[in-house]
Amino acid sequence: MIKKWLLSNLIGVIITVFVLITTFGSIYTLANKDRITTRPMNVQLRTGPGIQYQSAATLKKGTNLLIMEKVRGWYKVRRTDNEKIGWVASWVAEAKTLRVATPISEATIVLNPGHGGDPDKRYDGLPGDNGSSSADGKHFEKTYTLSTARAIRDKLQQTGARVFMTRDSDVIIPLLHIPRLTEKYQADAQISIHFDHDGDENNATSATGISQYYYHNNGKQLTEALHQSLNQLPLPNRGSDTAKYVVLDQVTRPATLLELGYINNPSDFKHIRTAVYQKEIANAVTAGLQSYFKQTMERK
């Protein structure tokens, strides 16, 4: 009898079951949309939305949290086990590949590959800029700043850090837009990538090496940490200094600019153009940032 009824009303039964599953699924999703469970170990519960705030607790993997507010990628949460309230970096708490969070994992970093775009074209009214060129005039700074920044990004993301690129293609970004992005996300470090040039265009130079620059005092420690780690590169380190570049002057967050070799020095360029050198830079920058953020946490 029941079997006969089911067969005769099969379409209606299927529709009813589908509606019930969808309804209960929606209810479950709504009930849990503001709840997360920490994935890595050592997620920090802070007193405010940023690494500048004190850590109130270190959370174990699998800690259940109720989201109360969201600000610039940070979650204000309440623990379900003891009702304590604090803030966690969302990208850390929800990370799928990070096993153990470290100080750099909570950092927001802006990478700015210098120059970009075709000089014969305009981008939102702004002409493209190749930057400096190699001694033979065939290779441009914009190409290697971008590939180097990508290598740095990929290495940093392995640490769990949140990374923004001012550009990820061959376009030009107005200089004032760079610090605005950094301010928007209240980034913990802004790093501009460049390659130096000496003498007349398309002429070789004997000048060699790398340099680091900052402008505001809050960028000095960041620059010094990177200076130390960049000493491991095959090119000589010419040292760090202050410079009133727009990307350093017009930002309130810690910022540095790296000149990573002379593109019109054929010997330097042999390094600059290789993926090996770009990975060496990525490793050095990551190591410097790990040291910088570790020291920053220890001083609190």
pLDDT of residue 62: 97
The residues, ordered by sequence, that sit 6+ positions from 233 with a Cβ below 8 Å of its Cβ are 210, 260, 277, 280, 281, 284
Gap between the Cα atoms of 190 and 98, Å rounded: 23
Token pair 């990070």 is found at 98
Mean pLDDT to the nearest integer, 235-261: 98
Pairing of strands 255-262, 210-214: antiparallel
Q: What is the pLDDT of residue 6?
A: 47
Confidence of residue 184 (pLDDT cuts 50, 70, 90): very high
Strand partners, 79: 65
**Mean pLDDT to the nearest integer, 18-29:** 42
pLDDT of 191-213, one tens digit each?
A: 999 999 999 877 999 999 999 99
Q: Which fold has domain 35-93?
A: SH3 type barrels. (2.30.30)
User: pLDDT (tens digit, 9 = 90+) per residue, 3-19?
Assistant: 555 456 555 545 554 44
Q: Are 198 and 144 in contact (CB under 8 A)?
A: no
**Once rounded to an integer, what is the mean pLDDT over residues 278-288?**
98
The pLDDT confidence band at residue 44, using thresholds 50, 70 and 90, is very high
Binned at pLDDT 50, 70 and 90, residue 33 comes out as low
Average pLDDT rounded to a whole number, residues 262-274 = 98
Superfamily (CATH H level) for 103-298: Zn-dependent exopeptidases (3.40.630.40)
In the block, residue with structure tokens 């040292």: 239
For residues 27 and 135, the model is more confident at: 135
Output the pLDDT for position 24. 46
Q: How far is CA 55 from CA 34, 50, 127, 134, in A?
A: 22, 10, 46, 48
Mean pLDDT of 77-106: 97
Q: Strands of 35-37's sheet, edge to edge?
A: 35-37, 64-71, 74-79, 85-89, 43-46, 55-59
Reading the block at residue 167, the tokens are 């550009």
Place of tokens 């290779």: 139
Answer with the residue of higher pLDDT: 31 or 54. 54
Q: What is the pTM of this model?
A: 0.88
